Homo-oligomer: A and B are copies of this chain.
Amino acid sequence: MRRSKAFIPTTKEAPSDAVLASHIFLSRAGFISQVASGLYSYMPLAKKVIRKIENVIHEEMANVGAQEVELSFVAPSDLWIESGRIDKFGKELLRFYDRKEKLFVLGPTHEEMMVDLVRNRITSYKNLPLNLYQIKTKFRDEVRPRFGLMRGREFIMKDGYSFHASVEDLDREFNALEDAYKRIIKRLGLDFRVVEADSGAIGGTGSKELMVLADSGEDTIAVCDKCEYGANIEVFMDMEELGEDFDASSVSDIKELKGDDNCPHCDGKLSLTKGIEVGHIFKLGTTYSKALKAEFLDEEGKSKPFIMGTYGMGVSRLVAAVIEQHHDENGCIWTKETAPYTINIMISNVKDEAQNTLGEELYLKLLGENIEVMIDDRKDRFGFKMKDAELIGFPFTVIIGKELENGIVQIFNRATREKISVPSGEIYKKIMELI
């Protein structure tokens, strides 16, 4: 992409209510645009990041045999009445009447819709297990939308649901999905912990959250310094967030955890850290299948409700989480796997023919190799363009400047802010080594 043609409206102004780095820098660097409280539009750079995250999710979902569907966003309220959640969800569930005075909701999550899709279509244990997922816009009318993409009202979520004939099979799938989720977050280049999430989970495995570690995280988690153990100590907040019943027994668990720093799994010590919840996997059991009478015939011909799991991942929240974990005072620092463009070719002075020629040659060569490359061909000053590049956060910027007279170009590493000098003839080879 040519920077001169790209719609990347960078600005010095941050939104007045922005306190988080991701909110500030995604706005300033021209990734997102606020439409109303908790509503954002994604500009081309954000759309590219989202697409990259989605592709990783699609690949890992295919690996575990999950099949992609897309459920309607506007959902009939009947299903929510059937499940009993229409009241439990409260005002976060946005409701409205259509022109024929029928009540609908905007899907904040899709358990009911997915159960409805499968019931009467899968009727035998022979066609189980089944794992369906979608990546789709969701809406929750949050009372206090905040932190940019971190807690918006409209957001992009990957939600998946599995259907099983036995608890053992759900356990197997749950573990497979936990592994898949770990692979996704790892591939995106993020430091994370899988933490046990609800009361039963302290020592159990029924509900786990994927936490991207960042000081700005809303969740406080206890992590062991020896083993992989981690637990969310703000279970009650999550419960509220997920619209599930609050389990009073969890309170004592939290207290226990707070008062005791011994790991329950090994002889390590627990310490507290902050995390951003980007994924939540949960063994639903038969809650929804019973409520919605979604049943199959087992091997003995007996009718039984599906045993279900649910697997959510916040796609738009992940965009913010990358920046919360990877930024400095100059702007975004995208990981290689999430960067909208891996390489930025900076022509310092576009009036210089040699600089232009080398820049254009390199640009076309990288394009030909399907490398995501931007060329900054604008007439603006070098200093301005470099600040812009740092704000956007390209992993590598190739600086073609005055040193070219001596046959030298530079590669600026956004994460380390180091510049290395490379003979211009070796620049392509060097780039291929780096990426």
Chain A contact residues, CB within 8 Å of chain B: 5-7, 9, 33, 35-37, 39-44, 46-48, 50, 65, 67-76, 91, 94-96, 98-100, 102, 104, 106, 113, 116-118, 121-122, 130, 132, 137, 139, 141, 143, 153-154
Contact = CB atoms under 8 A, between A and B. Distances in A.
Contacts of A75: 35-36, 39
B69 A35 contact: no
A98 B33 CA distance: 20
B72 A154 contact: yes
Contact of A94 (B6, B98, B118, B143): B98
A19 to B, nearest CB: 21
Contacts of A40: 72
Contacts of A44: 67-69, 132
A113 B69 contact: no
Which 7 A-B pairs have CB atoms at the shortest separation, nearest pair first?
Answer: A96-B96, A9-B121, A42-B70, A44-B67, A36-B76, A41-B71, A39-B72
B47 A69 contact: yes
Given A35-B76, A43-B117, 4 more contacts: A9-B122, A36-B72, A50-B70, A95-B96
Contacts of A9: 121-122
A316 to B, nearest CB: 10
B137 A67 contact: no
Nearest to A95: B96
A62 to B, nearest CB: 10
Contacts of A76: 35-36, 39
Given A44-B67, A67-B7, A132-B7, A113 B74 contact: no
8 contacts: A7-B132, A36-B76, A43-B69, A44-B67, A47-B68, A47-B69, A73-B137, A74-B153
A5 B74 contact: no
A71 B35 contact: yes
Contacts of A98: 94, 141, 153
Contacts of A100: 37
Nearest to A73: B137
